[in-house]
């Protein structure tokens, strides 16, 4: 995969799940050799990864597995899971933006990520844990603001606010709605209003 520029890549259209390990290795090697002026690209494997950014902004992809992603400094975009159908299913990913204006990707223009695919369960076996949400950060979500609720996560041992997707589309938070993230830090209804909806 030869990359002319970082901006020319449409990351959410890359079907990483269709790559075998050799193809994935080629992409990882190519990205390590590529030089982007303002953004580092950090691509994990199809298993649990520990990815760490640096002083530049980073676009970080955990792909599959229970990942730990730390952007550190710079304006980062963090994908804990595959940005495709079923992305995040069965995963618990820890995402740390660090300093800067970070974007935590929990949805794409086609899919809600960390959705277990079941309509009548809370889905609290798979979610992203956002460890340091600040007023400068944003969530990227599928749909619109009215599709989401903030409430107690209901997950024992996890602090922070639960972010739920209205999976039964009844416009009220109930036991059938899908937990997609537990957000620690300065996260509230205003933060949800300033999210990026695609």
Evaluate whether residue 124 is within a structural domain.
Answer: yes
Tell me, what's the pLDDT at 37? Answer: 54
Tell me, what's the pLDDT at 187? Answer: 94
Total number of domains in the chain: 1
Cβ–Cβ under 8 Å, residues 197 and 143 = yes
Radius of gyration of the chain (CA): 16
DSSP 2-35: --S-GGG--GGG--GGG--HHHHHHHHHHHHH--
Tell me, what's the pLDDT at 197? Answer: 96
Evaluate whether residue 97 is within a structural domain.
Answer: yes
135: left (phi over 0), alpha (psi -120 to 50) or beta: alpha
Q: What stretch of H or E contains 141?
A: strand 138-141
Evaluate whether residue 171 is within a structural domain.
Answer: yes
Evaluate whether residue 15 is within a structural domain.
Answer: yes
Q: At 124, is the secondary structure helix, strand, or coil?
A: coil
What is the domain range of residue 39?
Answer: 6-197
Cα–Cα distance for residue pair 90/125, rounded to 1 Å: 6
Instruction: Tell me the C-alpha to C-alpha distance, in Å, between residue 35 and each of 19, 28, 78.
Output: 23, 13, 19
Q: Which two tokens stand for residue 115?
A: 């959705």
Q: What is the pLDDT of residues 71-128, one digit of tens each?
A: 999 999 999 999 999 999 999 999 999 999 999 999 999 999 999 988 777 788 999 9
Evaluate whether residue 1 is within a structural domain.
Answer: no
The total of other beta-carbon atoms located within 10 Å of residue 119's CB is: 13
Q: What is the pLDDT of residues 91-102, one digit of tens each?
A: 999 999 999 999
Cα–Cα distance for residue pair 180/8, rounded to 1 Å: 29
Q: What CATH number is attached to the domain comprising 130?
A: 2.150.10
- Taking the chain (198 residues) in runs of 10, the rounded mean pLDDT of each run is 45 73 72 62 90 88 96 94 94 96 96 89 91 96 97 93 94 93 95 94
Tell me, what's the pLDDT at 132? Answer: 96
Q: Are strands 127-133 and 178-185 parallel, antiparallel or unpaired?
A: parallel
Cα–Cα distance for residue pair 85/83, rounded to 1 Å: 7
Q: Are strands 138-141 and 148-152 parallel, antiparallel or unpaired?
A: unpaired
**The pTM is what?**
0.87
Q: Which two tokens stand for residue 83?
A: 């940005």
Tell me, what's the pLDDT at 35? Answer: 53
157's CB contacts (< 8 A; 6+ apart) are: none
Evaluate whether residue 76 is within a structural domain.
Answer: yes
Evaluate whether residue 36 is within a structural domain.
Answer: yes
């Amino acid at each position: 995969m030869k990359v002319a520029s970082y901006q020319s890549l449409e990351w959410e259209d890359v079907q990483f799940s269709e790559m075998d390990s050799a193809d994935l290795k080629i992409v990882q090697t190519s990205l390590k050799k590529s030089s982007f002026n303002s953004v580092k690209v950090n691509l994990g494997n199809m298993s649990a990864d520990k990815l760490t950014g640096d002083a530049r902004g980073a676009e970080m992809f955990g792909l599959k597995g229970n990942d730990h992603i730390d952007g550190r400094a710079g304006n980062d975009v963090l994908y804990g899971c595959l940005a495709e159908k079923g992305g995040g299913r069965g995963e618990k990913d820890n995402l740390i933006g660090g300093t800067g204006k970070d974007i935590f990707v929990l949805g794409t223009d086609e899919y809600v990520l960390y959705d277990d695919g079941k309509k009548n369960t809370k889905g609290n076996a798979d979610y992203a844990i956002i460890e340091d949400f600040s007023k400068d950060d944003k969530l990227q979500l599928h749909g619109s603001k009215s599709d989401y609720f903030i409430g107690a996560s209901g997950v024992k041992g996890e602090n922070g606010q639960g972010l739920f997707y209205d999976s039964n589309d009844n416009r009220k938070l109930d036991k059938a709605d899908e937990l997609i993230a537990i957000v620690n830090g300065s996260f509230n209804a205003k933060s949800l209003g300033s999210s990026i909806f695609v």
